Amino acid sequence: MSYEKFLETINCPICDSQEYHVLKEANYPNNITIEELLVIYKSSSDVELIDQLVKCIECGLVFLNPRVKSDIIMESYEEAVDLKFASQNHLRIRTFKKFFENWANRLNIIPSKQKKILDLGCAAGSFPKAAQDIGFSVTGVEPSKFLCEFGRREYGLDLRQGTLHEQNFSKEEFNVVSMFDVIEHLSQPGKILDEVKRILHPEGHLIINYPEYDSWPRKIMRGKWPFFLSVHLFYFTPKSIKQILEKHGFQVIKFEPYYQTLELGYILERASQILYFTKLIEKGVKAISLAQIPFTYYIGQTLVTAKKA
């Protein structure tokens, strides 16, 4: 099996156990090439899960193991070009702005240029743009050269291409650090959380949005859940996200469902890669010119707010 040279085996990042149950076996093509893997592992990839999915016997975390080597994944993220993803930024900005205004209000955080926000995995800059429009000082970090350049060009944002550890931010520099649809992509989430703790102000907040393995959409859709993707290395539950946050020095304040608004045609096109019947719905929606209408949906994303313990 030629693909095995591209794989690595890991211990559970929460409890360090090597023992697990296999939930789904891998189905890599035997002759898969490094070039094909690089295409699969772009951050907004909609390639159906082909890796082995396991559940830790000790703590219950669900994750990919073995998985594609971290350096292959990072190279793919850096070179990712996704015009369709960037095309939805206007609606992402609207969603983020509504969410962040309500979130800041709830925590009595008054927008100010003295309040510094760091958005990790900022993609094409939709959350940084929303936070900047509200009145915060914002920096973004994004591996993709294309998405980073898009956000700089379109919105004039301070977006840094690369990884968090490459930026050398100062201790306790940021009032808020956010990770939207990011933690499930990280090969070493604990290492990132340690650095976030270092650069977060003592009274600061951490926001993490992630696909919820225990959500009712996942339970209903089972193997056809749209978040079962090869780019998602971890599948957290409230229990496991709380465990990993506490392990790295954070205390959970609140869990809440997260609703996204995107164009109906875009949602159906992404979903059709896994839910094949939606291809027919997509064609019908386009035929009657409804593809561009905004559509708010929930398919199992959870948002957690935390602070330093």
Q: Is the pLDDT of residue 88 over 80?
A: no
Q: Is the pLDDT of residue 285 over 80?
A: no
- Where residue 291 falls among pLDDT bands split at 50, 70, 90? low
Digit-coded pLDDT (tens) for 116-141: 999 999 998 999 999 999 999 999 99
Least confidently predicted of 43-57, 105-119, 125-139, 274-288: 274-288
- Contacts from 69-73 at CB under 8 Å and sequence distance 24+? 69/6, 69/7, 69/8, 70/8, 70/187, 70/188, 72/6, 72/34, 72/37, 72/38, 72/41, 73/41, 73/185, 73/187, 73/231, 73/233
Model pLDDT, residue 300:
94
Q: Is the pLDDT of residue 187 over 70?
A: yes
Domains and CATH numbers, the chain: 2-78 (no CATH), 83-261+301-308 (3.40.50.150)
Model pLDDT, residue 162:
95
- Percent of the chain scored above 90 by pLDDT? 63
